[in-house]
Copies of this chain bind each other. A is one copy, B any other.
Amino acid sequence: MVTEAEASLPRERSPRHVSVKDVAAAAGVSVGTVSNVLNRPDKVLPSTLEHVLGVIDELGFVRNDAARQLRAGTSRSVGMVVLDVRNPFFTDVAQGVEARLGEQGRPLILANSGQDEARESTYLDLFEEQRVSGLLITPVGQVLPRLRRIRDRGTAVVIVDRRVGSREFSSVSVDDKLGGRLAAQHLVDVGRRRIAFVGGPRGLNQVKDRLAAAEMVASASRGVALRFVETATMDADAGRRAAEDLLKLDGRERPDAIFAANDLIALGVLQALTLARVRVPDDIAIVGYDDIDFAASAAIPITSVRQPREGMGQVAADLLLDVIADPARRVRHVVLEPELVVRRSTAG
């Protein structure tokens, strides 16, 4: 019975893939010619071309990229490791990269380290095994030696949104010191005296630089105190929690301004403050960083330090393409300038 039932099922023919060899056989030409049809159509007699294309279509032939890469030694793809795909900042940067690479017919493979060293490392493995032709990375952990080895094996590497290993790798970044200064100075200018910087982890250069610049501004302004509230991550949730902690401080300790290391944190902070009926900006002003689209449409539109996100992506792609084209090329660092966008969260 069982046998009968099975027998009555339509026999699935094994879905083996059609290869150039099959196409060649069916078309009555050599594999070399099929390959020429695919890669150098001008070298093929028009009639042959047409015929082979017909067979390809009929048989449903699809190039096997693995074999192609194996032969070529490297893939055309570019790998990109970002800190957090859910942060629009990074998807905007990626968008810029993708746009530029797309012009060259190079696919972008996006991977999300989630600020986790282990995942970062896993994805680097993956990209190496895939022999991507280039690698864009915003490093989390101590990956410099690793990147060096990758580069030595012939893969182009460009650092995005950071400037580490300056002697060895080209990079695009935005001047975080300037950004930090702009934000802090603005808060001081609108009369704030007790500023809390919320962000982290401390190890991140971005955090470090923005904080350092803010500290300089604070110490240069009489009567201004700055405290650092470290967070483990840079998302809205971290912002909410940090704000709740700050609200536990009473009167004289409580800050009158919060400088968030990015807009997601700022949004979280804003939510927590609103929930606690703290008035923004009257009681506490907020400055964010990145100027993601959502900052402008927040409950209280958030003052933010705008970074040229897509532009950064494009520059990153350009630098990488240069290195791919000529690995010996001199290391370059492009530093873009951020810009303060004042909105209601600090107005007043």
Tell me, rounded to whole Å, the shortest Cβ–Cβ distance linking A84 to chain B: 10
A29 CB to closest chain B CB, in angstroms?
22
User: Do A62 and B267 touch (CB < 8 A)?
Assistant: no
A111 to chain B: which residues have CB within 8 Å?
107
Interface residues of A in 86-135 (CB under 8 A from B): 86, 88, 91-92, 94-95, 98, 107, 109-112, 123, 125-126, 128-131
1/0 contact trace for A59-76 toward B, CB 8 Å? 010111111111001010
Instruction: Assess A109 versus B109: contact at CB under 8 Å? Given A66-B70, A85-B94, A130-B65.
Output: yes
Does A348 touch B at the CB level, under 8 Å?
no
Chain B residue with minimal CB distance to A150? Answer: B62
Given contacts A297-B298, A300-B299, contact A67 B70 (CB under 8 A): yes
Complex contacts, A271 vs chain B, CB 8 Å: 296-297
Contacts of A66 in B (CB 8 A): 65-70, 75, 130-131
Contact with B along A190-207 (1 / 0, CB 8 A): 000000000000000000
Which chain B residue has the least Cβ–Cβ distance from A264? B293
Q: What is the CB-to-nearest-CB distance from A325 to chain B, in angstroms, rounded to a whole number?
A: 15
Q: Does A243 contact B (CB under 8 A)?
A: no
Copies of this chain held together in the complex: 2
A267 contact set on B, CB distance < 8 A: 294, 297
A330 interfacial contact with B, CB 8 Å: no
Which parts of A129-163 form the interface with B (CB within 8 Å)? Answer: 129-131, 149, 152-154
Q: Quote the shortest CB–CB distance from A146 to chain B (angstroms).
A: 11
Judge if A17 is at the interface, Cβ distance under 8 Å.
yes
Query: When the two chains form their complex, are residues A17 and B130 in contact, meaning their CB atoms are under 8 A apart?
Result: no
Structural contact, B299 and A298, CB atoms closer than 8 A: yes
Interface status of A270 (Cβ within 8 A of chain B): yes
Please indicate which of the listed interface residues A88, A130, A297 has the most CB atoms of chain B within 10 Å of its own CB: A297
Residue of B17, B62, B86, B149 near A91 (CB, 8 A) is: B86
- On whether the beta carbons of A62 and B17 are closer than 8 Å, the reply is no
| CA distance in complex: A12, B63 (Å) | 34
Pair B98/A112 contact, Cβ less than 8 Å: yes
A126: chain B residues within 8 A (beta carbon): 65, 107
> How many angstroms from the CA of A107 to the CA of B132 in the assembled complex?
15
Cα-based distance from A296 to B270 in the complex (angstroms): 11
A223 at the interface (CB under 8 A from B): no
A236 within 8 A of B: yes
Which residues of chain B have C-beta atoms less than 8 A from A92's C-beta? Answer: 86
Kindly list the 5 A-B residue pairs having the minimum CB-CB distance in the complex, ordered from nearest: A15-B154, A66-B69, A65-B129, A66-B70, A294-B294
Assuming A12-B328, A65-B66, A66-B69, what are 20 further A-B pairs, CB within 8 angstroms? A15-B154, A17-B131, A17-B154, A62-B125, A63-B129, A64-B70, A65-B130, A65-B131, A85-B95, A86-B92, A107-B111, A107-B123, A107-B126, A109-B110, A110-B110, A236-B297, A270-B297, A271-B296, A299-B300, A299-B301
